[in-house]
Structures are given as structure tokens and as C-alpha cells.
């Protein structure tokens, strides 16, 4: 009976969630283009059709070889803190779009910004929180799911588990904590640099359609491999870092942790973490590449890209941190059962197959924000 009042409150809360129809007036578009630019010509066709469909829409067109227009573009770029090195460059209020991929991708984003896409008006009214855009939750949720699945990679866990076993044999608790955290932080830094490299590569060449197709094929191949591994690799062991490679790393870890000079042990742990994680990236290159491609398709300020990468790393390292803190607190070695790694392979495989198909047939579904 004690659950009844709580259920009533929860039910009343969901009843209070009411859809809101977005009301808007069309803002004007500032379209900067250049002679001989094929993507500019493609966007011009799109904007022309948009203006035919919505006669009240105002589109200001600026050819950048005109000195006055070029100066205006520089001023807008400075104001929005945007990279204006390429055209087409489209501005709608405080939003901007660099390049034009297709009507279904960049065009869809422009329509959503204008409030012409029905999906952009998907709002709910939450008590205490006010009006919330449902779509704004998509990218954080996707980041959380992919990073969590990536973190259960068996290749990313075996070294930490062995290190914990060695640290528990030390008498100095302070040394245990510092060496363990140094390994985890160094591993996180390697992965962050790896994600940053992928992201900047896709931001640089992200408007080339064949890049999207290649990533889609990688997603489909990775998804197929994950599902195959789920059914064939029953113990969820890592095939890249196995056998003799593990024994060499184990020997080095043991030698490092037993060094009398703490500073040498610390430096050794950091260097080994970098080396081991660079090798382990072979295991986990698929999910980060796919995620950063999706992130590059999203029109965000630069600082938000890196904020998402930091969030990804925090979720990715979550299982490592939990296992480490439990072990250091209880002084008992803990680990994840292989069934959790196998489950992540199943979910990850399905997710990558879905993302691969969306990148090919409906890439606009992966353009958030």
C-alpha cells in the first residue's frame, strides 16, 4: 500500500506532460556563395524551391568575391566564432551552416532551424523544467549508449584487472591509489586524443558524400563482426591482445609496480598505459569512428564537440572507475562477468548495423541539435 501514493504522483506527473505546437515566424536567411562552387549551386536550387514553397521567406544572397560581401562574411564569422574558410555558408539568426551536403541532410537542418520541419516542433511541457525539445536529448543519449557499450570492450579491461591484482599486493595504500588512477587517467587521455583525431578528420572532410558511405560500410561490417563474435566467442575474450602479448605486458607491469623509486614507477605506469591503449584501439576503432562521424554531421560550436568527447570518455571509463574504486576500498579484486561483455557485443552489433543503414538511406536521422 505504501507504493500507491508514489504511483499516483508519477501518474499525475505524466498526465501533466502536454505537447506544444510550435508557433514561429520565418527568420531571414543570409546565404554566402561563390562562383564555380558546386555545393553552392546545389544549395541555391534547394533555397529556390524553399522560397517557392514559402513566399514570405526572405533570402539574402551574397557572392563572396565582392569585397563588401566578403567583409560582411568576415564580420559574421567573428561574431559567431565560426570557421568561414569555405562556402556555401548559411546564417539563420545565431545559427550557421558551413557547406551543403544534400537536401536530406543540411537542407533538413536548415528547414528545422526555420521551423518548417514538423519534427522541430516536438516539444513537451514538463513541470518545473518548462518547455523541453525532445530532439535535444537524442545526441546525449546516443553518446551515453555508444560510450557505455564501448567501455565493456574486453580488450580495455584485462590490463586494469591485472594491475589491480598487483596493486593489492602492495602495503602502501597511497601508492596503490596514485598508480591505479595514473593508469586510468592516462588511458582516458589516449582515448580522448584518438576521438579528437577522428572528429577533426571528419570535420575536415565531412561534407564529402563518399566518406559517409565508407563509415556506413565500416558500421555494417563492425556490426556483423560483433554479432558473429557474440555467437562464437562464448568467453568474450580479446583476440587482439592475447597470449604472449598479455604475458609481456604482465611482466612489465609487475616490474614497474615493484620499483622502489615511486617516481619511476609512476612514469612507467603512464608510459605503459599509453602503449597498451594504443594497441587496444585496434579492438575498439569501430564505435569511436562511427560516433565521431555522427558528431561531425551535427552543427555545433567547437567547444560543444569537445564537451561531448569528454562526456564520452567519462562514460567509457565508468566501468573501469567502478571496478577500481571497489577493489581499492574493499582490498578485493573484482571484475565483470563475461556475460556482460557478450551482452554489450550483441547490443553494439545491432546498434552499429542500424547506424550503418541510417547513414546510407536516412542520414538526416543522425543529424542532431
Q: What is the pLDDT of residues 203-257, one digit of tens each?
A: 877 555 667 777 778 778 877 877 887 788 665 555 544 556 666 766 777 777 7
- pLDDT at position 74 is 92
Angle at 120 between CA 114 and CA 122, to 5 degrees: 150
Q: Which are the contacts of 104, defined by CB distance < 8 A and separation ≥ 6?
A: 362, 363, 364
Average of pLDDT values for 49-69? 90
User: Quick check: 260 and 215 in contact, CB under 8 A?
Assistant: no
Q: Is the pLDDT of residue 15 over 50?
A: no
Cis peptide preceding 88, ω within 30 of 0:
yes
Mean pLDDT of the chain: 76
- Look at residue 1 and tell me whether its pLDDT is greater than 80: no
Residues 6+ apart with CB under 8 A from 132: 123, 124, 125, 126
The C-alpha cell at 25 is 515566424
| Close Cβ partners of 310 (under 8 Å, ≥ 6 residues apart) | 192
- Which alpha helices (H) appear in the chain, and where do they start and end? 3-15, 38-53, 67-80, 108-114, 138-151, 158-167, 173-205, 209-232, 244-257, 262-280, 286-297, 302-316, 318-330, 338-361
Delineate the domains of the chain, giving CATH numbers in brackets: 29-121 (3.40.30.10), 136-366 (no CATH)
pTM here is 0.56
Q: Is the pLDDT of residue 83 over 80?
A: yes
CA proximity to 185, closest of 324, 39, 2: 324
How much is the average pLDDT of 1-19?
A: 42
Instruction: Say whether pLDDT at 43 is over 90.
Output: yes
Q: How far apart are CA 108 and CA 31, in angstroms?
A: 16
C-alpha 4/C-alpha 258 separation (Å) is: 58
Asked whether residue 162 carries a pLDDT value surpassing 70, the answer given is yes
Contact by Cβ (8 Å): 340, 149: no
What is the predicted pLDDT for the residue at 3? 45
Lowest mean pLDDT among 22-26, 317-321, 330-334, 341-345: 22-26
User: For residue 89, what is the enclosing H or E element?
Assistant: strand 89-92
> How many residues belong to the chain?
369
pLDDT in tens, 274-318: 877 776 666 666 788 888 888 887 777 888 899 999 999 999 888
Helix (H, G, I), strand (E, B) or coil at 285: coil
Q: What span, in angstroms and rounded, lies between the C-alpha atoms of 32 and 325?
A: 54
CB count within 10 Å of CB 256 equals 21
Burial of 233 (0-12, 13-18, 19+ CB in 10 A): middle
First CA to last CA across the chain, in angstroms?
43
For residue 116, the model assigns a pLDDT of 76
Amino acid at each position: 500500500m505504501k507504493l500507491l501514493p508514489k504511483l499516483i504522483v508519477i501518474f499525475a506527473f505524466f498526465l501533466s506532460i502536454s505537447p506544444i505546437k510550435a508557433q514561429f515566424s520565418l527568420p531571414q536567411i543570409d546565404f554566402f556563395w561563390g562562383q564555380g562552387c558546386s555545393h553552392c549551386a546545389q544549395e541555391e536550387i534547394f533555397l529556390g524551391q524553399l522560397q517557392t514553397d514559402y513566399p514570405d521567406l526572405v533570402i539574402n544572397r551574397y557572392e563572396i568575391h565582392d569585397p563588401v560581401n566578403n567583409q560582411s562574411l568576415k564580420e559574421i564569422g567573428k561574431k559567431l566564432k565560426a570557421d568561414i574558410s569555405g562556402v556555401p555558408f548559411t546564417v539563420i539568426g545565431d545559427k550557421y551552416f558551413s557547406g551543403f551536403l544534400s537536401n536530406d541532410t543540411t537542407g533538413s537542418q536548415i528547414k528545422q532551424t526555420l521551423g518548417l520541419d514538423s519534427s522541430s516542433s516536438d516539444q513537451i511541457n514538463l513541470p518545473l523544467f518548462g518547455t523541453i525539445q525532445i530532439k535535444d536529448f537524442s545526441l546525449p543519449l546516443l553518446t551515453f549508449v555508444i560510450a557505455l557499450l564501448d567501455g565493456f570492450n574486453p580488450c580495455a579491461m584485462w590490463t586494469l584487472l591485472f594491475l589491480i591484482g598487483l596493486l593489492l599486493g602492495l602495503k602502501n595504500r597511497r601508492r596503490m591509489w596514485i598508480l591505479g588512477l595514473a593508469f586510468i587517467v592516462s588511458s582516458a587521455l589516449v582515448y580522448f586524443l584518438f576521438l579528437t583525431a577522428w572528429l577533426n578528420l571528419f570535420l575536415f572532410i565531412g561534407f564529402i558524400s563518399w566518406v559517409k558511405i565508407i563509415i556506413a560500410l565500416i558500421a555494417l561490417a563492425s556490426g556483423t563482426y560483433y554479432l558473429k563474435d557474440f555467437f562464437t566467442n562464448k568467453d568474450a575474450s580479446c583476440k587482439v591482445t592475447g597470449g604472449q602479448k598479455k604475458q609481456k605486458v604482465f611482466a612489465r607491469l609487475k616490474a614497474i609496480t615493484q620499483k622502489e623509486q615511486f617516481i619511476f614507477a609512476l612514469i612507467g605506469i603512464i608510459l605503459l598505459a599509453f602503449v597498451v591503449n594504443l594497441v587496444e584501439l585496434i579492438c575498439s576503432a569501430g564505435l569511436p569512428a562511427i560516433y565521431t562521424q555522427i558528431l561531425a554531421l551535427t552543427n555545433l560550436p567547437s567547444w560543444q564537440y569537445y564537451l561531448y568527447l569528454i562526456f564520452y570518455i567519462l562514460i567509457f571509463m565508468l566501468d573501469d572507475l567502478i571496478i577500481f574504486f571497489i577493489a581499492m576500498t574493499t582490498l578485493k579484486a573484482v571484475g565483470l562477468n563475461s556475460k556482460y561483455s557478450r551482452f554489450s557485443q550483441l547490443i553494439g552489433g545491432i546498434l552499429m548495423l542500424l547506424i550503418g543503414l541510417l547513414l546510407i538511406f536516412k542520414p538526416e536521422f543522425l543529424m542532431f541539435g
